[in-house]
Amino acid sequence: MANQQTPAPEDATAAAPAKPKLPVLIGMVAVGLLVGGGTGAAFVGPIVAKKMGKSAPVAAHADSAHGDDMGEEAAAAEGGEAPAEGEVPALLLLENLVLNPAASGGGRYLLLSVAIEPGSAKAGEDLTARDAELRDIILTSLGVKTVEELTEIARREQFKTELQTVINAKFGKKAVKSLYFPQFVVQ
């Protein structure tokens, strides 16, 4: 029994799997990220944009590649209607409006965004076309409020009603259906 020999250690190294080289591993990770990012942008991106109320350019690259109008078909396939030419979005968003509250001496400010739901397509077009005038109405109306008034959360609904009344007086009786403050920060 002492004459039996054990197998050579060479066989053990031949059976072990070889480690992948670093450039191959980096290439595999890069390809995985590109495929995952492209898939997310193509499929998940439009769904998220639709839920956020923003219009995503559905199949915009397909229009130029095929030379036909795939955008409307793709939008219909997604369950939504393709926006008609000249159609106003459901909400008109005025972002990053900044003003100094009354009696703040310039030491405090209000940063807000206002989302307006137009009462009709015509009202939406008017509001969009007269954007500067609309911003001025909002800033003037809220600029007379003090910091104490602006920081009372219970008064936000009152501010919305007041802005809606002032905008409707300037743009037409039912120009604004609803008004929202997605951002309202007093510093």
- Tokens 């109008």 map to which residue? 69
- Residue 185 token pair: 């920060």
- pLDDT for 134 equals 94
Q: What is the pTM of this model?
A: 0.53
> Residue 58: what are its φ and ψ, rounded to 5°?
-70, 120
Q: 8-29 pLDDT, tens per residue?
A: 555 555 555 666 677 777 877 7
The answer, yes or no, to whether residue 59 has pLDDT greater than 50, is no
- pLDDT for 24 equals 77
Helix axis angle for 131-143 and 121-129, nearest 10°, is 80
Q: 107-125 pLDDT, tens per residue?
A: 899 999 999 999 989 999 9
Q: Where are the domains of the chain?
A: 19-77, 92-186
> Residue 61: what are its φ and ψ, rounded to 5°?
-70, -25
- What are the beta bridge partners of residue 186? 110
Across the chain, mean pLDDT equals 75
DSSP 102: B
Q: 66-87 pLDDT, tens per residue?
A: 344 444 433 333 444 444 555 5
- pLDDT for 145 equals 92
- pLDDT for 20 equals 61
DSSP conformation letters of 114-148: EEEEESSHHHHHHHHHTHHHHHHHHHHHHHTSBHH
Topology adopted by domain 92-186: Tetrahydropterin Synthase; Chain A (3.30.479)
The answer, yes or no, to whether residue 184 has pLDDT greater than 80, is yes
Nearest-Å Rg of the Cα atoms of the chain is: 30
- From residue 148, give the alpha-carbon distance in Å to each of 23, 60, 105, 106, 108: 61, 48, 14, 15, 11
DSSP 113: E
